[in-house]
Amino acid sequence: MFNRESNIIVGLEIGTSKVCCIVAELDDKGVPTIIGIGQSRSNGVRKSEIIDQERAIEEVSIAINEAEQMSDVEVKNVYLAVTGSHIKAFTCNGFHPIHAASKVITQADVDEVIRNAKTVNIPPGDMIVHSIRQHFIVDQKEDVINPLDMLGTKLEVNILIVHGSQSRVQTPVRLLKNQLQIEVDNVVFSGLASSLALLNKEQKEIGTLVIDLGAGTTDYVVTVDGLVKHCGVIAVGGDHITNDLAQGLRLPIGQAEQLKIKFGSAIPPANIPDKFVVIENDLGLKAKTINLEHLYLIMALRIEETLELIRQDLQETGIIDSLRGGVVLCGGGARIPRILELTEHVFQLPAMIGNPVAIGGISSALKQPEFVTPIGLIKFASMFKRKSVSPRYSLTDYLKNIFGTFGK
């Protein structure tokens, strides 16, 4: 192995069902190629947050070691995905009067209005994960991409603030540093990473919703006009479906998970050939007969409720009418049979399963919906590497470069 060099980037996702580590190498043009993948089952995480630190570190070590062996790279720095019900987002506005007699907008004016927009109050104990700049407004003229050298008396800008619990965000960062001597270059909201991995330029422009159906949470991100306009987290995932089945059918969690995988569907079938299935009891007790109609109903109701919560949020923000690109699904939940039909029914929009775009390397990873987030981390990191970013600016200030916008 050799120490991490400047052309090596690593994405790490510590998820509810799995830990995934992806190593990529940048070519001389800054284009990444995946050269190593490591995975392990995740038992120290619930609802996308670490609950058993010792077990979580063991599982992270397994995934990282596997990625190191495949890539022949020693992992010392990572880009870390974060999510959880504590992650929230809102849009704030910055205002700056143009004092110059010429009324010509300068770079100093742009810097100042962005600083003003970032002066926001977030809940005590929270930290800003991302501040994503939107379009500028010059004297009520909206959707200005580049205000430099324009004439105006008032400059405004909107900023999408993504924030979350500082202790929850910093817990895995601290564990990686203290237990594994691995530095976190930056934390990235999982939903944002997924959208970076999946959406091409056209989809970003015409308006597309990405939904990442994970085991512990469901993340969603809306991109319109090349900008991230809205995002959120629903604290429901595949594990909640399993728990619903376990309670509703009075089964152990393990058996409920097996039934979900074997018979599950987002929409109950019109005709069920065998309406009952017999489950043997591992403890020697009497076998249990399961009504499959009940299984389908329990599962369909939970999935539809999750999608409906996202639809209601987008309806309230007024952004749902901008989604000309439809819905793109990823995550383990994207494998659920008939999930596309249900998604199209709820949103009244076309839906598809997403595949990562514009990245090369190990083909098996590129075809798995579960690998979308760590692949997005690689894209996020590679964009940063290509920009000679001044230390006085945070990485999140440069999200505009990923989404084709102007400014700092």
Among 199, 200, 242, 219, which Cα is nearest to 336's? Answer: 242
Q: Count CA within 13 A, CB hemisphere, residue 1.
A: 16
CATH number for the region 88-164 comes to 3.30.1490.110
pLDDT attached to residue 174: 95
What residues in the chain have per-residue pLDDT under 50? 1-4, 388-408
Distance CA 198, CA 328 (A): 8
Domain positions in the chain: 88-164, 238-300
Report the first-to-last Cα separation within the chain, whole angstroms.
Answer: 38
**What's the Cα-to-Cα distance from 293 to each of 256, 261, 299, 342, rounded to whole Å?**
14, 15, 10, 17
pLDDT attached to residue 405: 35
pLDDT attached to residue 371: 85
Q: E strand or H helix at 357, and its extent? A: none
Contact 252, 234 (CB under 8 A): no
Distance CA 249, CA 242 (A): 10
Contact 308, 214 (CB under 8 A): no
pLDDT attached to residue 387: 61
Q: What is the DSSP string of 74-124?
A: ---EEEEEE--TT-EEEEEEEEEE--STT-B--HHHHHHHHHHHH-----T
Identical fold for domains 88-164 and 238-300, yes or no, is no
**What's the Cα-to-Cα distance from 98 to each of 109, 119, 142, 188, 214, rounded to whole Å?**
7, 19, 17, 34, 47
pLDDT attached to residue 400: 44
pLDDT digits (tens, 9 = 90+) for 51-66: 999 999 999 999 999 9
Among 374, 298, 396, which Cα is nearest to 330's? Answer: 374
Topology given in CATH for the domain delimited by 238-300: Nucleotidyltransferase; domain 5 (3.30.420)
Predicted structure pTM score: 0.90
pLDDT digits (tens, 9 = 90+) for 124-148: 999 999 999 999 999 989 989 899 9
Distance CA 42, CA 390 (A): 37
